[in-house]
Amino acid sequence: MKILKTILIGMGGLIIPKLVFAGVMLDKVKTIATNGGYDANNTNEYSLTSYAGTIVNVVLGLLGIIFVILTIYAGFTWMTSGGEEEKIKKSTKILSAALIGLVVVVASYALWNFIYFKILK
C-alpha cells in the first residue's frame, strides 16, 4: 500500500508542472493567432484551445509515466525471475509492449507538436 501511495504522489508531482506549462503556452497561442490574422484578445485561459493543449499535454505525460512504471516493473520481474523461463517471457512481453506504447506516445507527441506549432503558425 505504501508503494501505491508513493507512486500516486510521484505522479501528482509530475502532472502539476505539465499544467503550469500548458498555461504558459497561452501567450504563444495568442501570438500565433494574431500573426494569422485572428482577433486573439477574446482568448483567455478558459478557451477551447487552452483546454485542448492542457488535456493533450497531461495525457501524454501520464502515458510517459506509465511507460516508466511498466519498464521498471518488467526489469524487476526479469531480475527476480531466478532463471525461470515463464517469468522471463512475461517480463519480455511487458517490456516489448511498453516500448511499442512509447513509440506510439512519441509519434503522437510529434504529430501534436507539428499540428500545434507548424500548421497553426
Helices 2-35 and 48-79 cross at an angle (nearest 10°) of 140
pLDDT of residue 92: 93
Q: Which of 61, 70, 64 is CA-nearest to residue 21? A: 61
Distance (Å, rounded) from C-alpha 75 to C-alpha 71? 6
Q: Under a CB-based contact definition with an 8 Å cutoff, are residues 98 and 70 in contact?
A: yes
**Torsion from C-alpha of 51, 55, 61, 67, nearest 10 degrees:** -170
DSSP 8-state secondary structure symbol assigned to residue 81: S
* 36-54 pLDDT tens trace: 666 666 655 566 766 777 7
- Estimate the crossing angle of helix 85-113 against helix 48-79, to 10 degrees: 160
Domain ranges of the chain: 2-119
64-86 pLDDT, tens digit per residue, is 888 889 999 999 999 999 889 99
CA-wise closest residue to 96 among 71, 59, 61, 60 = 71
Would you say the pTM of this structure is higher than 0.85? no
